[in-house]
Chains A and B, each alone.
Chain A
Amino acid sequence: MTWTLILSLAAAAYFLKLLGSVIIGHWVMPPVLERCLLLIPAALLAGLIAKDTFTVGQELGIDARAAGLAVAVIATWRKLPFVVIIIAGVGTTALIRLFV
């Protein structure tokens, strides 16, 4: 992690917040652009989930992380509290690694 990354990301993130709330506050965004921007989290977070569960570097594979993810998906679907989701998901993977 470098300070260059942190500070440039801070500047870019703040600029995006400022852009909507202060700079172009009177502008009406085209609905299609708004829909696309609001779909980014679904696409990118799902991509991050897949990357962090099924890859090691550039190689694909299924290991104890997949079980942890499955438990987390169920806990999220059941609308359990945030802390329960984390502990259940991480705990499942840790236990499997301990005993398998």
Chain B
Amino acid sequence: MHHFRAPHARRFISASLMIGVAFIIFGLSFGVLAVSAGASVPQSCAMSLLIFTGASQMSAVSVIATGGSPASAFGGAVLLAGRNAVYGLAMAPVLRGGSLPSRLLGAQWVIDETTAVVSAETDPATRRTAFWISGAILYACWNLGTLLGALLGSSINPSDFGLDVAFPVMFTAMVASHLQTKQGRRAAIFGAIAAVALAPFMPIGLPILVSAFGMLFGLAPQSQENETAS
């Protein structure tokens, strides 16, 4: 693809493989839960291959698993995917200059973790190397984990293992990095209260969409105090 430099490439391969191990475990958990929510093995794999943004996939499966409508599952998952447009803006210079097919492929790999790996670098050529290596490795690990999980999930009865709690457990691990600012913590508290307080009064799946209004804490500019608190 683009000007790989051997020493950098090796560094990014080992860094990506470390994140990749977590992706395999996370993907495996997703596969088990997707199957337990009624998805087939091909459907679970298609989600990871085509959607490839973990929080949205987990959110959609969680809403379907608890009896929500496909429309509310879609709404929550798309809202969660909105941040990838922000990451994409930061990644645009990395993809620019490549051929159209490479840019179309690269866009699919714009997620939290590839953005984090690339953002740690400053040199344009190094950033390209970081993006393509981390993207390829993480995409492979995520999909391998999903396949293993979906096959495993089909061979066990997930409810025997208390796997319903695996949803909030995984969301907890995922939300941690978003709670480092005061605004993030406020948004989270609002979201949690809305989801529980509105549950008795709304169709399943809709309170989650109301939770997203916690994003409006972002209307206030982030103060100096917030920066230092993080």
Contact = CB atoms under 8 A, between A and B. Distances in A.
B70 A21 contact: no
B107 A22 contact: yes
**What 3 A-B pairs have minimum CB-CB distances, sorted nearest first?**
A20-B88, A43-B214, A47-B211
A83 interface: yes
Interface residues of B, number: 104
B192 interface: yes
Given A9-B77, A13-B51, A20-B92, A49 B87 contact: no
Contact of B199 (A1, A44, A58): A58
9 contacts: A13-B51, A25-B89, A32-B221, A36-B215, A48-B171, A51-B195, A68-B162, A72-B173, A89-B166
B201 to A, nearest CB: 8
B7 interface: no
Contacts of B221: 31-32
Given A9-B51, A51-B195, 18 more contacts: A1-B38, A9-B78, A12-B81, A13-B77, A17-B88, A20-B86, A21-B107, A25-B88, A25-B96, A38-B218, A39-B214, A40-B214, A42-B187, A43-B215, A46-B171, A46-B189, A49-B172, A94-B161
B85 A58 contact: no
A54 B59 contact: no
A46 B211 contact: yes
A2 B64 CA distance: 10
A9 B79 CA distance: 11
Contacts of B76: 44, 48
Q: Which of B77, B81, B194, B217 has the most CB of A within 10 A?
A: B81
B15 interface: no
A8 B74 contact: yes
Contacts of A81: 22
B165 A44 contact: no
Given A13-B84, A93-B162, A43 B211 contact: yes
